[in-house]
Chain A
Amino acid sequence: METTFEQQLERPVKSVLADFPALGALLGEFRIGCVDCGVGSCKFKEIEDIHRLAPEAERDLWTRLARIIEPGRTAQLPVRERAPAAPAASASPPIRQLVAEHRWILRWAAVIPRLAAELDLNREEDRRTVLAGVDFIRHYADRRHHGKEEDILFRYFDSGLDVLQAMLTDHVAGREHVRAIEAGVAARDDAAVREHLLAYAVLIREHIRKEDDILFPWLDRQLLDSQVGQMYAQFLEADRRFDRDPRQLENFVAELEARFDAAPAAAAR
């Protein structure tokens, strides 16, 4: 590799990791999960800004990354001179609302394996339960929740951002699973319904983990107070226009948990 550490900084993190697999373990040590991240579109130099480390840890991380890429040379580290930064504000009210909706979606995802394991579409009750799950995903997870993300939150940012595109791709993939689940119920195809239910659960859990742990804190840090206020008002308006009772949709999850004797606290972390 004749490229320097400084040149590597401008490359997508996935490409740098492919050339230097040893970097993965080091990033993992700092709880930066680029290796398993499905997005991987960040530039190498952006990883710290997105994941936010304490200044000493940041310097330590870059020093060790540079040593792996160019052993024996003192590289120019991309450590930003930060003003003794004001502590980041806690999550803003609109972001908290999205995170609260995530808890219900995660609770639903957590009972899916139990539902899938016992699934028998010849039973009327199972068909009704799966279709109620489809209803929950379509109206609560997708229209109500992803609607706020796509139509409100993401609009405050550059729509070309790869990480936002990756989130939209996940939303679309979720919708495809839902269509397949519905078709599977109509065809009484246990195997297809099971497969797409489980795939949806894996997809949505990973999607929410990325949003809760990385994307939302990063977006929240960039929002001005005035934008937080506007977004909060827009969320209230979106909820006012929502034509279903969200409690009734949440109750579907709670009842399913009761049926499978699942502990909601564990599912919601």
Chain B
Amino acid sequence: MNFQGCPGSRMMDMRRPAADGAPAAAPGSTPSQLRQWPVQLHLISPMAPYYQGADVVLTADCVAYALGGYHAEHLKGKAIAIACPKLDDGQDVYVEKIRSWFDDAKINTLTVMIMEVPCCRGLSALARRALESAARKVPVKEVVVGLDGTIRQSEWLGA
């Protein structure tokens, strides 16, 4: 195995038999839990009505592809924004938008969902910076998702 280079972009082959005997759901029959548009952090307004007092899940771009139950188990009942801490430009804008969620939208909680690859920690770091600069304190949780689609760690970072 090649251990050189960035672990976040190292190739891994995880092919396995599809869906362990479970019958495939009829196309279009799995309900979406998305209740808003847009979702990308540069595109959203933190003052949009669906963020007011909400439980917000700030999700790294790759997470929803790795986690089989993302919609039902993590997005349900929450407002969302997505971002990539490795590739996106203008991350100071991100910090300001997250701060505005805390102070202006008066969100109830923030859950930051990231992949286990090291560069993804950057998204939690943005949330921490925003929390430090916010006047209002809100519980912030970090959920780390494994490349195999399991939850590796779930931790309240503080408030």
Residue interface bits A84-95, CB-to-B below 8 A is 1, else 0:
101111111110
**Contact A93:B159 (CB < 8 A) given known A226-B55, A226-B108, A228-B109:** yes
Q: How far is the CB of B142 from chain A (nearest CB, A)?
A: 9
Which B residues have a C-beta under 8 Å from some C-beta of A?
Answer: 55, 77-78, 107-109, 111, 137-139, 141, 150-156, 158-159
Tell whether A236 is near chain B: CB-to-CB under 8 Å: yes
CB-defined contacts of A91 to chain B, threshold 8 Å = 156
Q: How far is the CB of B52 from chain A (nearest CB, A)?
A: 13
Q: Can you report 24 A-B residue pairs in the complex whose CB atoms are below 8 A from each other?
A: A86-B150, A87-B151, A87-B152, A87-B153, A89-B156, A90-B155, A92-B156, A93-B156, A93-B159, A94-B139, A225-B55, A225-B78, A225-B109, A225-B141, A226-B55, A226-B108, A228-B139, A229-B55, A229-B108, A229-B109, A229-B138, A232-B138, A233-B108, A236-B137
Q: How far is the CB of A102 from chain B (nearest CB, A)?
A: 18
Does more than half of chain B's interface fall in helix, strand or loop, or is it mixed? strand
Apart from A84-B150, A226-B108, what 4 extra A-B contacts exist at CB < 8 Å?
Answer: A87-B151, A225-B109, A225-B111, A228-B156
Bin the interface of chain A by size.
Answer: 10 to 19
Residues of A87-145 at the interface with B, using a CB-CB cut-off of 8 Å, are 87-94, 96
Roughly how many angstroms separate A91 CA and B141 CA in the complex, as a whole number?
10
Roughly how many angstroms separate A28 CA and B55 CA in the complex, as a whole number?
41
**Contact A229:B139 (CB < 8 A) given known A84-B150, A86-B150:** yes
Closest to A236 in B: B137
Tell whether A230 is near chain B: CB-to-CB under 8 Å: yes
Closest to B145 in A: A86
Establish whether residues B150 and A226, one from each chain, have CB atoms under 8 Å apart when the complex forms: no
Roughly how many angstroms separate A203 CA and B111 CA in the complex, as a whole number?
38
Establish whether residues A92 and B139, one from each chain, have CB atoms under 8 Å apart when the complex forms: yes
Does more than half of chain A's interface fall in helix, strand or loop, or is it mixed? helix
Establish whether residues A89 and B109, one from each chain, have CB atoms under 8 Å apart when the complex forms: no
Roughly how many angstroms separate A229 CA and B156 CA in the complex, as a whole number?
11
CB-defined contacts of A90 to chain B, threshold 8 Å = 154-156
Establish whether residues B141 and A89, one from each chain, have CB atoms under 8 Å apart when the complex forms: yes
Roughly how many angstroms separate A225 CA and B76 CA in the complex, as a whole number?
12
CB-defined contacts of A226 to chain B, threshold 8 Å = 55, 77, 108-109
Residue interface bits A217-230, CB-to-B below 8 A is 1, else 0:
00000000110111
The residue that A88 contacts in the complex, of B77, B108, B154, B159, with Cβ under 8 A, is B154
CB-defined contacts of A228 to chain B, threshold 8 Å = 109, 139, 156
CB-defined contacts of A229 to chain B, threshold 8 Å = 55, 107-109, 138-139
CB-defined contacts of B141 to chain A, threshold 8 Å = 89, 225
Q: How far is the CB of A55 from chain B (nearest CB, A)?
A: 15
Roughly how many angstroms separate A92 CA and B78 CA in the complex, as a whole number?
18
**Contact A230:B108 (CB < 8 A) given known A89-B141, A93-B159, A236-B137:** yes
**Contact A232:B111 (CB < 8 A) given known A84-B150, A86-B150, A87-B152:** no
Q: How far is the CB of A248 from chain B (nearest CB, A)?
A: 23
Establish whether residues B139 and A87, one from each chain, have CB atoms under 8 Å apart when the complex forms: no
CB-defined contacts of A86 to chain B, threshold 8 Å = 150-151, 154
Closest to A96 in B: B156
Closest to A90 in B: B155
Residue interface bits A64-94, CB-to-B below 8 A is 1, else 0:
0000000000000000000010111111111
Closest to B139 in A: A93
CB-defined contacts of B108 to chain A, threshold 8 Å = 226, 229-230, 233
Closest to B159 in A: A93
Closest to A95 in B: B156
